[in-house]
Amino acid sequence: MNPYFKIIRPGNVVMALIAVILIAIINSKFTIPLILSLFAVIFAMSGGNVINDYFDYNIDKINRPQRPIPSGEISIKAARNYAYFLFITAIIMGILIYLLTNNFIPCGIVIFAVIILYLYAYIFKSTPLIGNLIVGFMTGLCFIFAGYTLNNHEIIRIAYYLSFFAFMMTTAREITKDIEDIEGDKKEGANTFTIKFGKKISAILASCFIIIDSILCPLLYFYHIFNIIYLIIVAFAVILFIYSAILLIKNQNSENCGKVSKYLKIGMLIAFISFVFGSF
C-alpha cells in the first residue's frame, strides 16, 4: 500500500464518510453541497490522522513501528506538510459549500474541526479522558455537519440523535485503545486516563459508555426515527457491544483490548447498516 494512502488510515476515514452517506440516504437524495461535504470529511479526517502520526512519532516507534513515519516510508517533515495540505483542502471544500448554499455553518464546522483535530494531536490526545471525548465528539460531528449542509430541520434533528450514539461508542473504543497501548504510552511519558487511573477503572468507564449506548439504541425506533427493520438489525450490534463490554471487564491485557476494539468497530458498522435499512 502506498505510504501516503496508508498514513491517512482509510478505514477510519471510511467510518466518518459513512456518517455523511447515512444522512444523505435518510434525506433520500445527494446534492452537490453534500458531495462536497464528503470530500471535506475525507481531507479533514485524513489530515487529522496524518498530523496525529506526526506528533506520535516517538510513541509509534514503540506501539506501532510499522506505521509510515517510524518505518521510514515517510519523513517527519513530509508528513507535516502533507497534513497541512489536507487541512487546507478541507477548508476549501467548506468554502465551496458556503458559496453554493449561502449557509456558513457547514464551513464554520470544517474550520472548527481542522483546529480541533490539530489541537487534539498537539495537546489534548494525552490529556486524561479529554482526548478520548474529543475523538468521540469529532465522529459525531460528521453527522451534524452533513445535516447542516442539507439545511433541513428534520434531518438536523435526526443528525443530533445519531451524533450522540456515535460519540458514546467511539469514546468507549478510544478508551479501550488507550488500555491496549498503555505500555508504549508510559514509556513516552503520556498522561492518558488509563495511566492515571488504571486499566480496571478505564475498562469500567468504557463499558459504561457501551452499555448506556446499547440500552438507548431502541429509542431511535420508539421515537419513530427508524422503522422495525432498524430494531432487528441493531439487535445484532447490541449483542456484540454487550459481549465486548463483558470481555473488557474480565480482561484488560493488550491482546484482549485489541480484540474488543475490533468488535466495537464491527458493531458500529452493523449499527450504521441498521440506520440505512431502518430509514426506508
What is the DSSP annotation of the chain? Answer: --HHHHTT-HHHHHHHHHHHHHHHHHHT---HHHHHHHHHHHHHHHHHHHHHHHHTHHHHHHH-TTSTTTTTSS-HHHHHHHHHHHHHHHHHHHHHHHHHHS-HHHHHHHHHHHHHHHHHHHTGGGSTTHHHHHHHHHHHHHHHHHHHHHT-HHHHHHHHHHHHHHHHHHHHHHHHHHHHTHHHHHHHT---HHHHH-HHHHHHHHHHHHHHHHHHTTHHHHTTSS-HHHHHHHHHHHHHHHHHHHHHHH--SHHHHHHHHHHHHHHHHHHHHHHHHHT-
- List the pLDDT tens digit at each of the 280 positions of the chain: 788 888 888 887 887 888 888 888 888 777 899 999 999 999 999 999 999 889 887 777 776 777 888 877 888 898 999 999 999 999 999 999 999 999 999 999 999 999 999 999 988 877 888 989 999 999 999 999 999 999 888 899 999 999 999 999 999 999 999 999 887 777 766 778 899 899 999 999 999 999 999 999 999 999 888 999 999 999 999 999 999 999 999 999 988 999 999 999 999 989 989 988 988 7
CATH code given to domain 3-278: 1.10.600
Looking at residue 210, its pLDDT comes to 96
